[in-house]
Amino acid sequence: MALRRALIFVGPPGAGKGTQSKLAAKECGLPHLSTGDMLRDAIARGTPLGKKVRPLLGRGELVPDDLVMSMVEERLSQPDCANGFIFDGFPRTLPQAEQLDGLLEAKGLGKPLVIDFCVSPDKLLRRLSGRLTCSVGGEIYNEFDAPPKVPGICDRDGGKLVQRPDDRPEVVKERLVAYEKQTKPLTDYYRRRGVLQVVDAGKSVDEVSRALNAILKRAEGPNGRL
């Protein structure tokens, strides 16, 4: 698919943004940029940024905008981001969205295409409590709905599957509050700009992927309709 665009996947924790970003990145040949993965990587490497943000992620709070923006700006300056990318979990506040608009303009990428992943709260809790992530390649599984062939081991690279520390019920509660207060208002911001598309993300992974690809197809090419 030839899509020269900034794609933004928004939605509550556990909506399937990461799962679908990985599939769409392959389909469109665009890099997948997850600010959550970047922050977890900084924590794992013990960088100064990682040390600052570790307690925030542990409590389910958002990281301050200035820290996230400098991390994103640095990533966007890399050559693989010249023709577009998929943001998973960014922007998450209005100031982040406004600053991103400026960065996209400077890169000549124009308006983003924003996909809002909608899922009922009961499904979110089931998905988060069952999520397992490969500690090597980041592959995402679910012990209820998408288990690995061998329990605890990644099908792809044999890595150990782990539960994210912020998927504990008390932290999930805080992440959902942060989403409602700070991130949900972004859907109105992007709807007013005419760039928001909604996907029913409560369906199966394949069904969501098909719905998403249909949207991306409509946006494709110089005469794309979205």
Q: Which of the residues are catalytic?
A: 17, 92, 131, 164, 175
161 touches ligand AP5 (CB under 6 A): no
d(Cα 132, Cα 151) in Å, to the nearest integer?
10
CB of 225 to ligand AP5, least distance (A): 26
Stretch that binds ligand AP5, among 56-64, 107-115, 186-194, 210-218 (CB under 6 A): 56-64
d(Cα 177, Cα 60) in Å, to the nearest integer?
9
d(Cα 218, Cα 35) in Å, to the nearest integer?
27
56 touches ligand AP5 (CB under 6 A): yes
d(Cα 164, Cα 161) in Å, to the nearest integer?
10
**Could you give the C-alpha distances from 79 to 39, 85, 204, 217, in angstroms and in order?**
21, 11, 34, 25
User: CB neighbours (10 Å) of residue 170?
Assistant: 9
35 touches ligand AP5 (CB under 6 A): yes
Query: What residue number has its CB nearest to ligand AP5?
Result: 36
208 touches ligand AP5 (CB under 6 A): yes
39 touches ligand AP5 (CB under 6 A): yes
Burial class (CB in 10 A: 0-12, 13-18, 19+), 31: middle
Binding residue count for ligand AP5, defined by CB under 6 A: 36
Give the interface with ligand AP5 as residue ranges (CB under 6 A): 11, 13-19, 35-36, 39, 56-57, 60-63, 68, 89-92, 96, 127, 130-131, 140-142, 145-146, 166, 175, 204-205, 208
